[in-house]
Chain A
């Protein structure tokens, strides 16, 4: 019989066997590869698999673990922990509301939360495991890579020659020059999933989407969390109403948010980490057990020797690509976080496939045509697609928003999840959908309906007549279209 700790070790060994087998030996390189992919994250995997499916000779080089940030230190582990936080929050705060008898003062067991996260990561890791890639005929090299010519790469010690290449090396957490922070020590999104115990006091520097997600999750798991954000607005890239709603939600959970607050230093005092801040000229210091830096991400370009292949790049923007994802070396493409402003897993996968198809296919696709749904996975979730109102107005497009509050949606009420709204932005005077913002418990799912509608060119008129299940939270989308029809003086049918 195995103990929980041993089970965890078995899971971890199984996970590594899938994403980086410890006894792996790199294959002998072929004389010439049709495609060499640098990076085994979502973009690189999608590119390699798309090319391999067409019968091309493909090599993929990964310096760390297959799956990239998304699987290992990004979307997957964070969503697993967020889910634990949500469940614990419901048990602790809302169980009585739902009629359950539970112990007062339920708390999280951090080691079980992390074990669950690792199991989930191992399971999802199977979807792109080394066995599957090898079965598709892809040569996998676990090593560093650097260009040594326009059509040659050094993978470890092995020289790989290629017809085409795709740079998909991703991005890493950005750091910043806060005096003393290096000495005090800090976590990033790449390291926070390795923590063993729950930090009693967690200070998160940076109030972007990831910072907010983890702030709420750790707060629900029992930490006292403070977000320190230089920007005066909470989630400045989201619509005002959406950001304010989430701000209230975080505040209700107990997350302390200090906006317009600059961290000017970090130090250790009596064994405690101290963060020094300035807000509107007023200095403040407070103690934390852990400090997490979440101030954005920077592309991984520095060690690739890109100039040897005549590939231009910018340290902040990453590899420079045209609308077809082609770099300044016309034989080399780029995809995912290393070149895209939108650093999301769905964009990485889509551009990975697009780069492979553009490199070899007859019909070339433009990255500017991508319609990108995105979501911040707080509770409630904030999802968006297409244009924001201010973007439409800046382009002199007349815009009108049809809003349905989740508090008026039957299923949201029965679920006890009635915070939020669906806002569909249309070109005023028409029924054309320009974009949508959804704040709801499952906005990440609901926004995909908007993605389908917009991709198919379905307007509000048609949407109003599409039956949805009843009751369903996504019915809010249809209700917005019904409001449009009423506004037009037309019946739904």
Chain B
């Protein structure tokens, strides 16, 4: 995208934030408010992407991209869809027990791909629903948004999702029940537990959060003391909604740290790892990093090019333990803006200068692998993913104004959840 790198920092952020938000204008169903997982033809809706969209509409109003009435109408349409959708054990329902299936048909809103009833994706959706309920505090149709936001949140049976255990499973499927695997080690699930313990109807017990934190590992790794998790997005997702600066749970009090500072260190590990570049991948550098979950080349791509290396397709990549196949997520550096603005801006400028093809329509692609070149072109993910665009809109805004953090600071649900999970201090 010619010209982007010549812009001032502010102008560059304007363009990229606006471009990212435009994803929701281009790939949202006007009928039901559902948003496509990706821009690719036939893509189903991802409920998590809807959660990001609902959180981005207030940003769009704030930035003057949408009128408040239009944003409210879009929000209400999505909330009405979820409120009216089928919540049963049927295999093609939209959800069950207040949770929703990970992927839904864009038109009918029913389950597709035999996917799981997803706890984390429901949490990301509900984070958006709660954000909308807090932001739209006016008259007109806005009271309906508030009422639906509350009822959708209240009907989620978080305690059911414990399946009799102390911590949450990752999901459930009709006919075979809860998925066996749970959440182990630090990851993006913080927001899931915080929303779960805050419920006035079917809450998770406060101890469930502590039960999860028992699986944490505090490590000295590449010179940083941090709560480890490999993929960068795991250090970002919960932070899109929650301002973790100076608030601490029991674990962070023991370590004299906080989750915000921890993400700073995760960024430092990413940069250090890419500077060391142990696998000698193309372009990796202290100023070119961002290894996380996202699209990437698959083995078929590799075989075509006769390279002795394994690639992972759409995968959660991480550092320093891997997996790492030379794929970086072009959006990931910029999404780290609140934690290390200099590194994020330097990184995105470096990327756009060297590889301008990673950005089209002012939108950053999901994955890019400059080590895998065919006909002079490095492998590039086709189109865009909604999760990436939503996270970018939110993180750029949080960096610039703290706008979303201000909204959720005023939310009883977020405050209650944080307190019940043992957080205290700072703004809390």
Q: Which residues of A contact B (CB under 8 A)?
A: 93, 231-233, 240-241, 244-245, 248, 251-252, 260, 280-282, 389-390, 393-394, 398-403, 405, 407-408, 418, 421, 423, 428, 483-484, 486-487
Given pairs A233-B181, A407-B320, 16 additional interface contacts (CB within 8 A): A232-B180, A241-B228, A244-B321, A248-B322, A260-B179, A280-B173, A281-B173, A390-B214, A390-B215, A393-B214, A393-B216, A400-B219, A405-B278, A423-B219, A486-B223, A487-B220
B179 x A241 contact (CB < 8 A): no
In the complex, chain B residues whose CB is within 8 Å of the CB of A260:
179-181
In the complex, chain B residues whose CB is within 8 Å of the CB of A245:
321-322
A389 x B173 contact (CB < 8 A): no
Q: Offer 19 A-B interface pairs, CB within 8 angstroms, sorted by A.
A: A232-B179, A240-B185, A241-B321, A248-B323, A251-B310, A252-B310, A260-B180, A260-B181, A280-B179, A281-B176, A393-B214, A393-B216, A399-B218, A400-B225, A402-B219, A408-B276, A423-B219, A483-B223, A487-B225
Within 8 A of A (CB), among B169-194: 173, 175-176, 179-181, 184-185
By secondary structure, the B interface counts as loop
Please give the distance in Å from B318's CB to the nearest CB on chain A: 9
Q: Given A252-B310, A405-B320, A407-B276, is A231 in contact with B217 using a C-beta cutoff of 8 Å?
A: no
The interface size bin for chain B is: 20 to 34
B181 x A408 contact (CB < 8 A): no
In the complex, chain A residues whose CB is within 8 Å of the CB of B220:
400-403, 483-484, 487
CA distance A400 to B227 in the complex (A): 10
The 10 nearest A-B residue pairs measured at CB: A281-B176, A407-B278, A232-B181, A232-B180, A401-B219, A281-B175, A402-B220, A403-B221, A241-B321, A252-B310
CA distance A244 to B321 in the complex (A): 8
In the complex, chain A residues whose CB is within 8 Å of the CB of B116:
280
CA distance A107 to B410 in the complex (A): 66
Please give the distance in Å from B295's CB to the nearest CB on chain A: 19
CA distance A186 to B180 in the complex (A): 27
CA distance A405 to B323 in the complex (A): 14
B181 x A401 contact (CB < 8 A): no
Closest to B323 in A: A248
A240 x B184 contact (CB < 8 A): yes
CA distance A389 to B219 in the complex (A): 10
- B114 contacts the other chain (CB 8 A): yes
Please give the distance in Å from B228's CB to the nearest CB on chain A: 8
Closest to A405 in B: B320
- B84 contacts the other chain (CB 8 A): no
Interface bits B261-287 vs A (CB < 8 Å: 1, else 0): 000000000000000101100000000
- B254 contacts the other chain (CB 8 A): yes
CA distance A408 to B222 in the complex (A): 9
CA distance A421 to B320 in the complex (A): 10
CA distance A447 to B228 in the complex (A): 23
CA distance A486 to B221 in the complex (A): 12
CA distance A240 to B182 in the complex (A): 12
Within 8 A of A (CB), among B208-246: 214-223, 225, 228, 230
In the complex, chain A residues whose CB is within 8 Å of the CB of B216:
393
In the complex, chain B residues whose CB is within 8 Å of the CB of A248:
310, 322-323
CA distance A255 to B33 in the complex (A): 43
In the complex, chain A residues whose CB is within 8 Å of the CB of B230:
241
Closest to A429 in B: B254
In the complex, chain B residues whose CB is within 8 Å of the CB of A407:
276, 278-279, 320
CA distance A393 to B323 in the complex (A): 27
Please give the distance in Å from B336's CB to the nearest CB on chain A: 22
- B308 contacts the other chain (CB 8 A): yes
CA distance A65 to B216 in the complex (A): 46
Please give the distance in Å from B12's CB to the nearest CB on chain A: 34
In the complex, chain B residues whose CB is within 8 Å of the CB of A483:
220, 223
Q: Given A251-B310, A398-B254, is A428 in contact with B176 using a C-beta cutoff of 8 Å?
A: no
Closest to A231 in B: B180
A389 x B217 contact (CB < 8 A): yes
Interface bits B189-203 vs A (CB < 8 Å: 1, else 0): 000000000000000
Closest to A248 in B: B323
CA distance A93 to B173 in the complex (A): 41
In the complex, chain B residues whose CB is within 8 Å of the CB of A282:
114
CA distance A21 to B185 in the complex (A): 54
CA distance A472 to B215 in the complex (A): 32
In the complex, chain B residues whose CB is within 8 Å of the CB of A394:
214
CA distance A398 to B251 in the complex (A): 10
In the complex, chain B residues whose CB is within 8 Å of the CB of A252:
310
Please give the distance in Å from A242's CB to the nearest CB on chain B: 9
Please give the distance in Å from A119's CB to the nearest CB on chain B: 33
CA distance A282 to B321 in the complex (A): 32
Contact of B308 among A93, A402, A408, A487 (CB under 8 A): A93
CA distance A111 to B230 in the complex (A): 43
CA distance A244 to B324 in the complex (A): 12
In the complex, chain A residues whose CB is within 8 Å of the CB of B228:
241
Please give the distance in Å from B231's CB to the nearest CB on chain A: 12
- Which residue of B216, B218, B228 has the most chain A CB atoms within 10 A of its CB atom? B218
In the complex, chain A residues whose CB is within 8 Å of the CB of B223:
483, 486
In the complex, chain A residues whose CB is within 8 Å of the CB of B321:
241, 244-245, 405, 421
CA distance A100 to B175 in the complex (A): 55
